Amino acid sequence: MPELYPPINPYYQGYLQVSDLHTIYYEEAGNPTGKPVIFLHGGPGGGIDAIYRQYFDAQKWRIIIFDQRGCGKSTPYAELQENTTWDLVNDLEKIRHHLGITKWVVFGGSWGSTLALAYSQTYPDSCLGLILRGIFLLRRKELLWFYQEGCSNIFPDAWAEYIKPIPQEERHDFLSAYYKRLTSPDPFIRLEAAKAWSIWEGSTSKLLPSDQTIKRFGENRFAEAFARIECHYFVNKGFLKTDNQLIENVEKIRHLPCIIVQGRYDVVCPMVSAWELHQAWPESILIIVPDAGHSMTEPGITSALIEVTDQW
């Protein structure tokens, strides 16, 4: 089974001002003359990690990764103003122009798959193809599954911790209840809610829960941006025009090559979304990893993704 490539350092790190308010951090690694790939992290609000560079052969790829608005090293931190799907879509074009790239491969997992679809459907001529993992289409049924009802049947112990900050009378709508707390002027209320929200995802993202993953998701600084920005996007329905927009617009990108890697037992982004995207896009290739959940660091998903990037 293919394993991660050795760690590498970026050969360039920089900041790009994308609006009067927001400046985003980005970095380049690998081969400056290699095939360009833009890596879209999850969340939204998750930020980048050095391990993301290790999914690509550094001799063959020009690897661009960046912190989306409001997270990681981008500023202002945990900012919700001017932070929508379409702001991020346009940021991608600004980065592409700034780096002088004609076309690039778009690689995105979880929320990154959402953003990859939104971007490619807006700027198909900027894309060489898509590598997607853990498909998330930001539909109401997906949000209700993970944040309101369904997933609690599989992880009732973690669910008990997730619902603790929310009083009984508000539990009919966890997204709204959390949003109220995550935008509270009281920093204690914000942090309590942020950690509960973030740890819930960390507790469910792997087939076999990882204490290390849960610890990372529970760190104060990470949780603050991750929870605030995620909830902001989700209460606003991803800023999409219709609930099924990303499938309805597949016709705009059907000419592009696309490979989808999906864990069979992903409860954060259940496999039905990957399946429905593949049915709408029969030219895509769907790789189902039989012994994996959501995280791209699970062995089967890691191996599948590296096989894909090697093929390309």
Q: Which residues lie closer than 8 Å to 198 by C-beta, 6 or more apart?
A: 217, 218, 222, 223, 226, 227
**Burial of residue 267 (number of CB atoms within 10 Å: 0-12, 13-18, 19+):** buried
* Distance separating alpha carbons of residues 53 and 51, to the nearest angstrom: 5
Cα–Cα nearest to 85, from 208, 212, 234: 234
Kindly name the residue from 67, 284, 294, 295 that is annotated as catalytic.
294
Q: Which residues lie closer than 8 Å to 224 by C-beta, 6 or more apart?
A: 77, 78, 190, 191, 194
Active site residue 184: no
Active site residue 294: yes
| Neighbour-count burial for 133-159, b at 16+ CB within 10 Å, e otherwise | bbbbbbbeebbebbbeeebbeebeebb
Active site residue 110: yes
The beta strands (E) that lie in the chain are given as 12-17, 23-30, 35-40, 61-66, 104-109, 127-133, 258-263, 285-289
Kindly name the residue from 67, 74, 110, 295 that is annotated as catalytic.
110
DSSP string, 115-178: HHHHHHHH-GGGEEEEEEES-----HHHHHHHHTSGGGGT-HHHHHHHTTTS-GGGTT-HHHHH
* Distance separating alpha carbons of residues 192 and 265, to the nearest angstrom: 29
Kindly name the residue from 266, 278, 284, 295 that is annotated as catalytic.
266
Joined together, the tokens standing for residue 65 give 């990764």
Q: Which residues are marked as active site?
A: 110, 266, 294
